[in-house]
Amino acid sequence: MGTSGEPRPVALRARGVAAALGAAVLLAGTPACSSGGGDGDGPSRTRTAAPSTAAPPTGEPVRDRACEVALPDGWSDALADGRVPAPRGERTVLTEVGPGAGWAVLQSTAAASASASGDGRSVVLREGDEQRSVMRLADPVEHQLGSADFDGRWLVFDVVEGRRLESLWTLYAWDATTGRREAVAEAAAEAAEGGQSAVPGPFVQAVVRSGRLFWAQGTGGGRSAVYARDLGPGGERRTVYEGVVDTPFAAGGLLVWLRQGESSSGRPETRLAAVSMDTMRRAELPGPIAGLRNVRYVASDGRTWAWAGGDADRPRLYVWREGWPKPLALVRGEGGGAVPEPELGGIDQVGVSGEVVTWRTTEAAWALDLRSRSYTRITPRYGYALARDGGLGVAYPEGEAKAAEAKDVVQLTRTSTLPPLPGCG
């Protein structure tokens, strides 16, 4: 568990991943858009988008489907140039990447021989070429870094005390100016066989902006709450929303989450809700996004939105951005077998960074370039990608993931250094 070549139920559960957590499981197996959506290129019931002065859509206006291209040298060279060096025998998990790849949060685990000397497993903040160890985890095997975020002063992260979905967790805030660390939230516990487990709820995904922390957690009875807390002296927890919700995420200046309610026919459905992270007041979403129903793995940078849809044998990656009349299913795996196309065997962990949209499948990590409307495989096999505000982080195993001699490749790159992918011809 916990290496870049394996599914990571803790460190990669962030970014709106819908996981099997009792009543908080809202999204698995649901279609991407509302009923009657034809071929699935967008919702059949949306409000008309307000006029926008944003730049027109990138790529050819008539191209409503992207194609796959080989990873070009310009991309592979830029990724290779951003490789993070790791000491011999150390395993590294990339947990978060910051704007422009200016910082990253890593989980670093020393080899068994090094652990005996006291290195163990640590939470590491990397800024430029400098790294700071923020916290050493008490158990170098069972304890794992879950999610993290950094606003230039406050680093917030959660530590999960086990490798099960129901493991207890603690959320910490670390002040980079003083080096002081404080536990600011923890899982509500309930009795379980052999001890205690966390009350079921959405995965914790720490979000911090200008000293204000946001997260969500289960509160019992199949319900959860979205919370906010101002960090520093006197900060108190405030409730932003209560109900059946999935993990909140940042979309520009908005905090967005999926909530469960009832449709006009009385059937359960999920839709997106948002508040301003500055005012904490309810915020309106763009018409095509507000109209979405029963979507999953949603991500946004505030202008571009992407999400996964379709079913097991027809996976879809949908994209919408300001100025587009409707969402487009730009990446599509076709049916015809138990697994449609091995390379597109499922779409999850969607990320957005301007012109670049990333996702993971069972085979590899991928990136879609909206400038060319083409996509490419960015890891040799397995691995994952994190995209955010002009930054791109890529991680994958070099060699067999579980082998003692395996190495973890972590690459941090500014998306501005990436030339457009080749076109579709």
- Residue 342 burial (CB count, 10 A): 12
238 vs 195, higher pLDDT = 238
Domain ranges of the chain: 22-41+63-417
pLDDT (mean) for 348-376: 95
pLDDT (mean) for 193-199: 89
Tens-place pLDDT, residues 250-268? 999 999 999 998 777 778 8
SS3 267: coil
Tens-place pLDDT, residues 107-125? 999 865 444 444 699 999 9
pLDDT (mean) for 152-175: 96
CA distances from residue 18 to 11, 28, 50, 128, 169 in whole angstroms, order as listed: 14, 7, 30, 32, 18
Q: How confident is the model at residue 360 (pLDDT cuts 50, 70, 90)?
A: very high
Q: CATH homologous superfamily of domain 22-41+63-417?
A: Prolyl oligopeptidase, N-terminal domain (2.130.10.120)
**Tokens, residue 262:** 């009832």
Asked whether the predicted pLDDT for residue 134 surpasses 50, the reply is: yes
Q: How far apart are CA 130 and CA 182, in angstroms?
A: 23
CB 14 within 8 A of CB 419: no
pLDDT (mean) for 72-97: 94
What is the DSSP code string of 282-326? Answer: B-PPPHHHHT--S-EEEEESSSEEEEEEEETTEEEEEEEETT-SS
Asked whether the predicted pLDDT for residue 197 surpasses 70, the reply is: yes
Please give the mean pLDDT across all residues of the chain.
83
93-102, 227-236, 337-346, range with the lowest pLDDT? 337-346
Furthest CA-CA distance within the chain: 63
Question: pLDDT exceeding 70 applies to what percent of the chain?
Answer: 78
Asked whether the predicted pLDDT for residue 20 surpasses 50, the reply is: no
Q: Is 109 exposed, middle or buried (0-12, 13-18, 19+ CB in 10 A)?
A: buried
189 vs 23, higher pLDDT = 189
pLDDT (mean) for 380-400: 93
| pLDDT reported for residue 310 | 81
Q: How far apart are CA 13 and CA 137, in angstroms?
A: 19
| pLDDT reported for residue 12 | 40
**The sheet that has 181-186: what strands, in order across it?**
143-150, 154-161, 169-175, 181-186
